[in-house]
Amino acid sequence: MFFPQFRARRIRGNGIFRRMVSETTLSVNDLVYPMFSAFGTGIKKEISSMPGIYQQSIENIVAESKEVRDLGIPAVLLFGIPESKDSVGSDAYSDTGIIQETIRAIKKDVPGLAVITDVCMCEYTDHGHCGIIKDGDVDNDSTLELLAREALSHVQAGADMVAPSDMMDGRVGAIREKLDEHGYDAIPIMSYAVKYASGYYGPFREAAESTPQFGDRRSYQMDPANRREALREAASDIEEGADIIMVKPGLPYLDILRDLRNEFELPLAVYNVSGEYSMVKGAAERGWIDEERVVLETMIAFKRAGADIIITYHAKDIAKWLGK
Ligand code: PBG
Ligand code: ZN
């Protein structure tokens, strides 16, 4: 049936009809808010390229966590900026590391908020790579044991879920095995299964102070040109025991998100990364775009493409807009 019998505008003609036929919804329950916890006290330092996002010491992280919970956002994703870094990222798996202390503080003072931790070495290594360096490159298999120890120490400190972001082969299996060995078989793993080597992480590296001191991450993160490979990456993480799989970055990779949605039954997360946030904020500050409208449209695009969970620096604003 085509025009004039069919008129698409009939069901678009008023707000009530549009509401009735809307195919996609966005809820505060879909959101995860990332935060950067810094060693020290009294710290609240705005990331210059990410307006509204801060490196903060633990007491300020706790205060913001309460705000996040009170907005109805179910979870935060934590990154740590340790007091000192070394070649093997010792702070990452230290019981008194920055993240471990932050987890304990949030779990003690902010009930009703889930704490997810980023599991990676790059915030803790002096060379800024996501694993142990051997012969000028990140060594896969020796990094696995450290990642497993890091994940375990997060969980021992009270983390509700761990999210490995390093892109080593076999890390989901290594972490699953380590957690199970210690009786943590109920703790889910949200795997950054499909993570591209992306220029969109630029502002994050300022926030997490994790810029590689030599080379780049292309020997472990994915080539933006590759689509079929994403299915293989996701399949292997699922095989190893991932409970949630993530695509990252978000907006430039909606096709990948849809591919994964069509292929797998697991919950799917998308990471709306720092560079995506900075672009929107920068344009909005100049009055070039309507921030609320553009952000909500972007979130609906993630949901439409198949995401169940959206990790975004806009989460607090979205929660406020949805609650209006
Ligand atoms: C650490 C990590 C990165 C991000 C999340 N975890 C940076 C990177 O891999 O270089 C990026 C998040 C963002 O840009 O918001 N491996
Ligand atoms: Zn990393």
Q: What is the pLDDT of residues 47-90, one digit of tens each?
A: 999 999 999 999 999 999 999 999 999 999 999 999 999 999 99
- Catalytic annotation present for 107: no
- Measured from the Cα of 272, ligand 1's closest atom is 15
**The CATH number of domain 22-322 is 3.30.70.20:** no
Query: How many Å lie between the centroid of ligand 2 and the Cα of residue 181?
Result: 25
**Choice from 53, 165, 216, 276 to test ligand 1 binding pocket (greatest atom count within 8 A of CB):** 165
Q: Give residue 233's pLDDT band: very low, low, confident or very high (50, 70, 90).
A: very high
Q: Hey, what's the torsion of the CAs at 243, 309, 93, 128, to 10 degrees? A: 120
Residue 57 amino acid letter: S
The domain spans of the chain are: 22-322
Tens-digit pLDDT profile for residues 78-129: 999 999 999 999 999 999 999 999 999 999 999 999 999 999 999 999 999 9
Tell whether the model's pLDDT for residue 3 goes beyond 90: yes
pTM score over 0.95 = yes
Tens-digit pLDDT profile for residues 124-180: 999 999 999 999 999 999 999 999 999 999 999 999 999 999 999 999 999 999 999
> Pick from 284, 288, 286, 158: which is nearest to 314 by CA?
284
**Who contacts 141 (Cβ-Cβ below 8 Å, separation ≥6)?**
170
